[in-house]
Homo-oligomer: A and B are copies of this chain.
Amino acid sequence: MLAKALMAKRNELGITPQHEDFSAWYNELVLRAELADRGPVRGTMVMRPYGYRIWELIQSELDARIKATGHDNAYFPLFIPESYLKREAEHVEGFAPELAVVTHAGGEELEEALVVRPTSETVIGEMFARWISSYRDLPLLINQWSNVVRWEMRPRLFLRTTEFLWQEGHTAHASEEEALAEVRTALGFYEEVVRGVAAIPAVPGEKTASERFAGAVSTLTLEALARDGRAIQAATSHYLGQNFSRAFDINFTSAQGVQELCYTTSWGLSTRIVGNVIMTHGDDKGLVLPPGVAPYQVVVVPIGREGDLDAVMEAADALSARLSAAGVRVRVDRRTHLSPGFKFNEWELRGVPVRLELGPRDLAAGVVTLADRLSEEKEQRPLDTVAGEMPGRLAEFQQRLLARAERYRDEHTALADDREQMAAAVAEGFASVLHCGRAECEDEIQEHTKATPRCVPFAAREENGSCAWCGQPAAYGRRVLFARAY
């Protein structure tokens, strides 16, 4: 009975605190903030307007950068002949267990089963082979916004869903050098969006062999840290060498008249990033949204009884118009059947950076009461000038949020030089270790600590020595980050 009473109280006022059960906190928050809902088919997700809008904002920032660096959007089919996947041996091995397969269509059984794309290297490879004939056709720089399907055994909203939305870039080049530069370019705009827009201080680095994309020569990644100390991959960028060119005959005639295979890349960022935002910034009161991705950067809550309400509502609308004109995404909460207190809690739960409360007394005094999502204090600001100061205040909020997340990440990254230190570090966040690079050693580490290698950070200085876990000579020439990961 006590548990039930506690739950009822929580249902009304709050969510499970992070330290008590991070996973419950996350699931409750996603549903209660109306970011997403579970779909009827196991593992599928419905992105509700509030969650989808976060994705749209990230999408538009990323799309602008993808286009500015010379890539064109295109669209390739959802269905891929099953045989295509088998042409690249590692690729099919990696994806086979996760495939959804269409066997019937138009009322008949199909001659060849169709795979619902888990990623599009194969079908795009086939088309690239048709389109590319001369060095003049290169580089070919294509991006696609689409849905993909990977059958998930342990689904979790946003982080692992059977279907998700993403963009996948696919490019073909005449030289290895150009393709490697492309992989870095992609990681560059991912960093601009992940760090610059979503305020997530993800660590850029290279994946170790065991964590590479199936079929890639190398994989670059941005690795973020959730507030429970687990890593979340934010985006990846793959150098595919000539693996897919060989499998799909993507070749070109060089300026010298020689037939050569292309060098290809692929890179992606998905709706998982919304989960990343939630887990990087959220607190016990709910979401905290960076202004860069907040559907509403400011919410105006008009407060008043019957007689006052018209004047207050009018002032709220005028304020909202000034905020919009200043380039701020604003919403006026016009609901009259809910108390101000309920609305305050709800907008805190939904992570709106700044709340402006406007009542008859504020109006009479020519002020508005401002509540900042990161601060316990409220302050009063002049009604005349608050709109003009808002862009600066939101930029400052964004910086504070990034700084807080950086501090969290740094405080949860520990050098570890033996098993005990390593186990302690990965219980809290990233362990920065020298590592032998052997698959057997990785397996042992995972078995004992649940941690896996997340990346070899680009920023790590050169360092050699012996593996923190097994004592054998370290590989990579620098430290590797290990963590338990989503």
Contacts and interface: CB of A to CB of B under 8 A. Distances in A.
A244 to B, nearest CB: 15
A344 interface: no
A84 interface: yes
Interface residues of A, number: 57
Contacts of A41: 77, 79-81, 114
Interface in A75-109: 75-81, 84, 96-107
A129 to B, nearest CB: 11
A322 interface: no
A301 interface: no
Central interface residue in A41, A48, A84, A146, by most chain B CB within 10 Å? A41
A359 B44 CA distance: 58
Contacts of A84: 40
A105 B163 contact: no
B127 A79 contact: no
A103 B101 contact: yes
Nearest to A72: B49
Contact of A44 (B44, B49, B79, B98): B79
Contacts of A258: none
State how many copies of this chain the complex holds: 2
A45 interface: yes
Interface string A137-156: 00000100011010101000
A47 interface: yes
A121 to B, nearest CB: 13
Contact of A52 (B75, B96, B114, B335): B75
B72 A47 contact: no
Nearest to A150: B106
A77 B114 contact: no
A332 interface: no
Interface of A: 37, 39-41, 44-49, 52-53, 55-56, 72-81, 84, 96-107, 113-114, 116, 123, 126-127, 130-131, 136, 142, 146-147, 149, 151, 153, 162-163, 165, 335, 337
27 contacts: A39-B76, A39-B77, A39-B79, A39-B123, A39-B127, A40-B77, A40-B80, A40-B123, A44-B77, A46-B74, A47-B74, A47-B75, A49-B73, A49-B74, A52-B72, A52-B74, A53-B72, A77-B162, A77-B163, A78-B116, A78-B149, A96-B107, A100-B102, A100-B114, A101-B102, A101-B104, A103-B103
Given A44-B78, A100-B114, 18 more contacts: A37-B131, A39-B76, A39-B79, A39-B127, A40-B77, A40-B81, A40-B84, A46-B77, A48-B74, A78-B147, A78-B149, A79-B100, A98-B106, A100-B104, A101-B105, A104-B113, A106-B153, A147-B147
